[in-house]
Amino acid sequence: MKMRILVLSTGRRVSLIRHLRRAAKNLDVSLFLVGTEIELDTPSLFFCDAFEIVPRTFSDEHHLAILCLIQKYEITHILPGNDLDLLYLSQRADEIPARLLCSHPAQYRPWLQKSLGSAAFEKLGLKVPKVFDDLKDVSDYPLILKEDFGFGSVNQYLLNSNQDLIANLPRMKHPFLQKFMAGPEYTVDVFCDDAKKPVALVSRLRKKVRSGVSDVGVVVQNTKLIDLIKNVAPDFNLAGPWNVQCIEFENEFYFLEVNPRFSGGIPLTIASGADFATYLLQWALGLGMNYEPQIRDGLKMLKLDAEVFFLDDLEAGIGYSLV
């Protein structure tokens, strides 16, 4: 069995790349990974079999570059790295001759917009922080101001007064205003099969977050939270890897967003016993998966910095060598 995966926006996902390699070895899959980024100085690129620097997402040249890479490397699958990749794929999926390692864009597209996502949560019977559609109704500070199509923690503002709202509102293209709720923040990593049945669900506390990604986390298999998601998982209409984020406030869970891709904290979920890297390859190849694995509750993750050293003259076409 062979897989040639184009990994978009590799970012800091060295751990995921390593997990994919280990999973492929265990499954006897011949795996070739091609990473893409917009800047050369991205360490994760050097852990791929090949990499390419591409134009910025949504630039005129970006889509053509992706199509050329698919042909050049005989790509069979594409793995999105962030929400911009998901938005791009939702617009161009019909033109891409490779399987997406995520849900179908028609299924995940509503979750990329916070206003639509909040309405979808409520339709599923899940609580959300109050949303202010009309600025005339704004009250009860503090509030959180975000872009409706925002990603990560970029362009988010905590508002404590009308003055804060007036000062920050002009910075928004499509403002999304919601009641700010303080409390423990959870991510639930979910992997579903094509029938939308959960293979595994792992809930973890986000103890320390950097740029929207969990750097310190701990697995807390909160039965109430797990059951809330499990009971309505098929109604999310998502397959493959996805995750949902929520806040616990006064013993109730308030849901914030769904990310229809691997989460930044996925190494902790994999280490806890839910091997999402293996699930991904099995799902893509039509192999059987291990449903409801045993999870190591209480497992804690502390991310650390590491360095990659290399000599290069890539612009001259000579290449690079790790030191």
> Do both 251 and 209 map to the same domain?
yes
Grouping H, G, I as helix, E, B as strand and the rest as coil, residue 266 is: helix
> Do both 198 and 274 map to the same domain?
yes
**Into how many domains does the chain fold?**
3
- Residue 31 confidence (pLDDT) above 80: yes
Query: Is 65 part of a structural domain of the chain?
Result: yes
> Do both 13 and 97 map to the same domain?
yes
Cα–Cα dist 163/161, whole Å: 5
More reliable by pLDDT, 137 or 101: 101
> Do both 75 and 144 map to the same domain?
no
Query: Is 194 part of a structural domain of the chain?
Result: yes
**pLDDT number for residue 28:** 97
Summarize pLDDT for 234-283 with one digit per residue, the tens: 999 999 999 999 999 999 999 999 999 999 999 999 999 999 999 999 99
> Do both 81 and 139 map to the same domain?
no
Summarize pLDDT for 147-205 with one digit per residue, the tens: 998 776 678 999 999 999 999 999 999 999 999 999 999 999 999 999 999 999 999 99
**What's the chain's average pLDDT?**
92
Percent of residues, the chain, with pLDDT higher than 70: 95
DSSP letters along 38-83, please? SSS--GGGGGSSEEEE-PPTTSTTHHHHHHHHHHHTT--EEE--SH
Query: Is 254 part of a structural domain of the chain?
Result: yes
* Closest among 163, 165, 115, 118 to 145, alpha carbons compared: 165
| Strand-pair category, 320-322 with 30-37 | unpaired
* Closest among 125, 5, 112, 126 to 69, alpha carbons compared: 5
> Do both 160 and 56 map to the same domain?
no
Cα–Cα dist 43/39, whole Å: 10
Query: Is 293 part of a structural domain of the chain?
Result: yes
* Cross-strand pairs, 99: 77
- Residue 317 confidence (pLDDT) above 50: no
> Do both 202 and 270 map to the same domain?
yes
Range of the domain at 199: 110-114+182-302
> Do both 286 and 186 map to the same domain?
yes
Query: Is 162 part of a structural domain of the chain?
Result: yes
Query: Is 318 part of a structural domain of the chain?
Result: no
**pLDDT number for residue 313:** 59
> Do both 257 and 205 map to the same domain?
yes
How many alpha carbons lie under 13 Å from residue 181 in its C-beta half-sphere?
Answer: 22
CATH code for position 20: 3.40.50.20
Cα–Cα dist 248/105, whole Å: 30
> Do both 193 and 165 map to the same domain?
no
Final residue of a domain: which of 54, 80, 101? Answer: 101
> Do both 26 and 137 map to the same domain?
no
Query: Is 321 part of a structural domain of the chain?
Result: no
Query: Is 147 part of a structural domain of the chain?
Result: yes
> Do both 170 and 199 map to the same domain?
no
CATH code for position 198: 3.30.470.20
| Strand-pair category, 252-259 with 143-147 | unpaired
Summarize pLDDT for 39-94 with one digit per residue, the tens: 988 989 999 999 999 999 988 899 999 999 999 999 999 999 999 999 999 999 99
pTM of the shown model: 0.92
